[in-house]
A and B are shown apart, each in its own frame.
Chain A
Amino acid sequence: MRNAGRTQVTALAVALTAGVSLSACSSSGSAGGGATNAAKQAVSTTIPSDKVTLTLATEDTSGLTQKLVDGFTKLHPNVTINVQTTAYSAYTANIQLRLASSSAPDLSETVVLGNLVKHNLVRSLDDYANLYGWTSKVSKYALDEYRMGSDQIGGHGSLYAVSAGFALTGLYYNKKLMSKLGISAPPTTLDELDQDLAKAKAAGDIGFEVAAKDGHAAFLVQQVADAYASPDTMNSWIFGAKGATFDQPGVSQGAQKLIDWAKAGYINKTANANALTDSVAEFSKGNALFFNDGNWDAASLQKGVGNDLGFIAFPAATPGGNVNSMVGGTAGYQIAAKSKHPDVAAAFLDYSIGADAAKIVSSFGNLPNDSSALDAPAGSLNSDFATAWQAVQKSNGLFGYWANAYEAANTTLTQTTEQMIGGSLDPKSFIKQVQSGWEQAHQA
């Protein structure tokens, strides 16, 4: 769900938030202190039998989280979980302050861990992971996304969250449009993709629907780049490893592709004004051949395109080469250091990765931790997701999101990719700008 939920309504909420003066948010200037010892308390898998009320803060507007909460509280009727949903931008802008406040939500969706770990606002879950055996229930890749060391570098160290499932990105395609254009099968290589785009252009159709205003043109750049890149090198840059650089194989090819595609007229002319919801609506009308997005939008897209909707992992650079996907947890939750009921919160997390939850997760088009629980009849969109997921795993093509590399990454990526679409920025300057933001963020 990350990077997925920005809408015009979000903009409303954000602007309202921003109306509050900056300094109105300033508190005494210290926070989280005193909660550092939380991890040393005795932990238990037993939930108290008296009435307990937790709060859960999320930016998940799909309804998945609410369904998980309903499932959990049905098993434990004495537990009430109040779900507080905020739109993405407002959520990321406020979650630090909310966790530092005296009314910190017990559970909150994990977006960027950095400052939260640095200021001890979230609780290390290592003790619960041992107690519940999460390391054997959840894949290493999925857990690594939520790890952070004392060096502020992600991908290793203590565990701070677990997610109910995964979201993966790839190419949605419109089967009806594809057969109209005489394309027999979805592309497996970037060259084939180019040919298909040229056919769409020749027939007056839109090749790619892109939501650049929300930074989703960077998805395209990254997925092309990841076709050439090494997951280890790329992910260590995303995690903030010392000395890592954005100037690595693939990135300039990815940037160049976006420029070329925009120049060739393969991309919707509205790209720079489209938020993700706009592009979802446009693709749902059946106007474009491809849409590079994640499975979190599956339900909305299917409403419009119906059975003509297909999904593949992003094509490889060469025939038989590695396909790739940006893979991240969906409905990943952390526990506040200030939570008075960490045992109950942890029990919810354990429920969310279990077999019951897996059914709920898969019904929302996401991949559950236990992929055997995915309901994927042949020919269904879910079976496309399962196929893509297997192909990506086989290729070792699991990548994190550039947008999560540092706090300002999405802003920088949005601006620079918009400029590349407009033809006013070259790949070299793109790499330089993104890297300089990364260096600034990892300096402090």
Chain B
Amino acid sequence: MASDVARPAPPARRARGRSSQRRSRVAYLYLALPLAFYSVFMLLPWIQTIFLSFYHWDGIGARQPAGIQNYLAVLQNPQLRTAIQHSFELMIFFCVLPVLIALAMTGLITGPRRPRWHLIRAILFVPQILPPVAIGVMWQWMYAPDGFINQALKWVGLGGVARPWLASFTWAFYAVGVVGVWVTTGLCLAFFASGAQKVPMELYEAAEIDGGGRFRQFLSVTLPHLRGEIVIAATVTAISALSAFDIVYVMTGGGPGTTSIVPGVLVYQLGFTTFQVGRASALAVVLSLLVLVIISVFRLVGRERA
């Protein structure tokens, strides 16, 4: 490529310009379809949500302008603080733990002469292709009083620990959290494993010659190359923690009481059980802003390190 650019012949250059113009036009064509989908199903609804957040609306009648009243009501909602607090706690399960676990696994499977664990990687990725609602229902069965987890505990002689997990004020939230780890670890591993493949083998060899063990190799060679992937994985999983809805709704509905309530469930309740669409939209906007702030922090941290 570099030698192509350095070639001075003007006609060739013009030809290249034309062809690259044509190529970029084709590129736009390819982009048009996803862009149209994104606009219609993501962008427009989002803009409309912002618009609706400034109205009182029950979903069918006439809208009444509400100014910032919906926002005031949402911010004063005593459940919101609990819900947002849960979101941050969920980030430990959806984001922090999966990233750490996936990094550890990456350390095991990368570098020269390491097993590639293709099958295990594929299995770990499976949760990504399952619909979240199916995941929720499946884990509900696993956590049931006579479900797999309690049965397994009894088999290993820990029957005393067995309990109806999702009915427990203490454990329901963590039970949902564990599902989060299960869901996102495979995704993080996919990011990191592909990132680790771009690390030149010579670096590992050099580290080995310098007497660096496996752990040292991971710390000094693999990890620095994964900065970008870590930021991306953290961002994607943090968003899934903050906007969690389906798995929580299916597994606990936010309960028992409000012990596992998250903003997503609150939005649903406001919009579809009390028909306060304006207020639900305001909460959705607040949630979007929260996500934006967190992602910005991640990007900033990622950039500083880079």
Contact = CB atoms under 8 A, between A and B. Distances in A.
Contact of B48 (A23, A92, A119, A422): A23
A26 B52 contact: yes
B58 A421 contact: no
Contacts of B256: 212-213, 272-273, 418-419, 421-422
A8 B60 contact: no
Chain B CB within 10 Å, residue with most, of A408, A410, A415, A441: A415
Interface string A7-42: 010011011111101111111011110000000000
A385 B76 CA distance: 47
Given A11-B137, A22-B281, A119 B169 contact: no
Nearest to B254: A415
Contacts of B46: 21, 23
A255 interface: no
B296 interface: no
Nearest to B281: A22
A422 B163 contact: no
Interface string B53-70: 000111111110000000
Chain A CB within 10 Å, residue with most, of B46, B133, B284: B133
B196 interface: no
* Tier of interface size on chain A: 35 or more
* Tier of interface size on chain B: 35 or more
A97 B163 CA distance: 41
A126 interface: no
Interface of A is mostly: helix
B246 A273 contact: no
A407 B254 CA distance: 18
Nearest to A9: B137
Contact of B60 (A11, A100, A274): A100
B255 A414 contact: yes
Contact of B277 (A22, A121, A416): A22
A18 B60 contact: no
Contacts, number: 152
Contacts of B148: none
Contacts of B145: 269-270
B164 A273 contact: yes
Interface stretch (B16-24, B108-116, B153-161, B267-275): B267-275
B98 to A, nearest CB: 22
Interface of A: 8, 11-12, 14-19, 21-27, 29-32, 92-93, 96-97, 100, 115, 118-119, 121, 212-213, 269-274, 407-408, 410-411, 414-416, 418-419, 421-422, 424-425, 441, 444
A273 B176 CA distance: 13
A128 to B, nearest CB: 24
A411 B267 CA distance: 13
Contact of B59 (A25, A419, A422, A441): A25
B52 A8 contact: no
Contact of A270 (B132, B164, B254): B164
6 contacts: A15-B249, A22-B284, A100-B60, A411-B274, A415-B255, A425-B257
B57 A424 contact: no
B164 A269 contact: yes
Contact of B62 (A18, A30, A271, A425): A30
B49 interface: yes
A29 B169 contact: no
A434 to B, nearest CB: 14
Contacts of A416: 257
Chain B CB within 10 Å, residue with most, of A14, A18, A273: A273
A105 to B, nearest CB: 15
A441 B274 contact: yes
A320 B174 CA distance: 49
A14 B277 CA distance: 17
Nearest to A30: B62
Given A269-B163, A272-B167, A411-B273, A29 B255 contact: no
Nearest to B73: A440
B263 interface: no
A15 B48 contact: no
Contacts of B52: 22-23, 26
A96 B59 contact: yes
A96 B267 CA distance: 18
B60 A15 contact: no
Nearest to B47: A23
B224 interface: no
Given A118-B61, A414-B255, A418-B255, A12 B250 contact: yes
A273 B167 contact: yes
B283 to A, nearest CB: 10
Contacts of A100: 60
B149 to A, nearest CB: 13
A416 B86 CA distance: 19
A29 to B, nearest CB: 5
Interface in B98-152: 132-134, 136-137, 140, 143-145
A118 B137 CA distance: 37
Contacts of A15: 132-133, 136, 245-246, 249-250
A117 to B, nearest CB: 12
A30 B55 CA distance: 14
B39 interface: no
A21 B137 contact: no
A97 B133 contact: no
B166 interface: yes
Nearest to A212: B256
Contact of B136 (A11, A96, A414, A444): A11
A369 to B, nearest CB: 31
B280 interface: yes
